[in-house]
Amino acid sequence: MDIRVLVAYATKYGATAEIAEKIGELLRQAGLQADVLPAENASDLTPYGAVVLGSAVYVGKWRGEAAKFLEANEKALARLPVWLFSSGPTGEGDAVELMKGWSFPEAQQNVADRIGPRDIVILHGALDSKKLSLPEKLIIKGVKAPMGDFRDWDAIASWAAAIAEALKKEG
């Protein structure tokens, strides 16, 4: 399988980086090549036949590095199969329902529309109170988001499997 996939991510505290690493690992197990890189370090898309991009969500927004990556590489991404994920909601239950209507950062909606991703998903995130600043703890208290690691590794694995399946069909 010749397709080389870039899995780019933007993280503040590491939870999204670990999701991206997992996706990369699963794509490799499925027989694809995959490089997992922080979005700010991924500038040259020429080696890649597909891109997965994910960002942690902070107060309804993507991290700047992911937003910049999407905007700076719009033309190249529009020609490639692209999958996007946001990681954020904590708590039990469906990730989409936990987001209460939020599906993608508004500021990047137009560029995403022009790129035409194969899929855009929301994945559960993780909150570690020991890592957060006091203002961040207050924000979290205000929105009553539960602390803890709610990442759904099964959901991540099925999403990665769907990506691998789609790429192998095109392969």
Ligand X SMILES: Cc1cc2nc3c(=O)[nH]c(=O)nc-3n(C[C@H](O)[C@H](O)[C@H](O)COP(=O)(O)O)c2cc1C
Helix (H/G/I), strand (E/B), else coil: 34: strand
Q: Is residue 65 a contact partner of residue 16, using CB atoms and an 8 Å limit?
A: no
Query: Could you tell me the two tokens for 152?
Result: 């759904």
**134 part of the interface to ligand X, by CB under 6 A:** no
Cβ closest to ligand X, residue 46 vs residue 133: 133
Q: Is 146 in the site for ligand X (CB under 6 A)?
A: no
Stretch that binds ligand X, among 24-32, 69-77, 120-128, 155-163 (CB under 6 A): 120-128
Q: Does 72 bind ligand X (CB under 6 A)?
A: no
Torsion of CA 50, 162, 55, 171, to 10 degrees: -10
Of 20, 77, 127, 167, the one binding ligand X by CB under 6 A: 127
**Helices 153-170 and 15-29, interaxial angle, to 10°?**
40
Report residue 7 as tokens. 């899995």
Asked whether position 89 contacts ligand X by CB under 6 A, the answer is yes
Nearer to ligand X, 3 or 84 (CB): 84
User: What is the nearest approach in angstroms of ligand X to the Cβ of residue 106?
Assistant: 12
Binding status of residue 108 toward ligand X by CB under 6 A: no
∠ Cα 13 14 19 (to 5°): 140
Write the CB contacts of 128 (distance below 8 Å, at least 6 apart in sequence).
13, 147, 149
CB neighbour class for 134 (10 Å; exposed up to 12, middle 13-18, buried from 19): exposed
* Site residue total, ligand X (CB under 6 A): 22
* Piece of the chain touching ligand X by CB under 6 A; list 10-18, 24-32, 33-41, 73-81: 10-18
Binding residues for ligand X, per CB under 6 A?
Answer: 11-16, 56-60, 87-89, 99, 125-127, 132, 136, 139-140
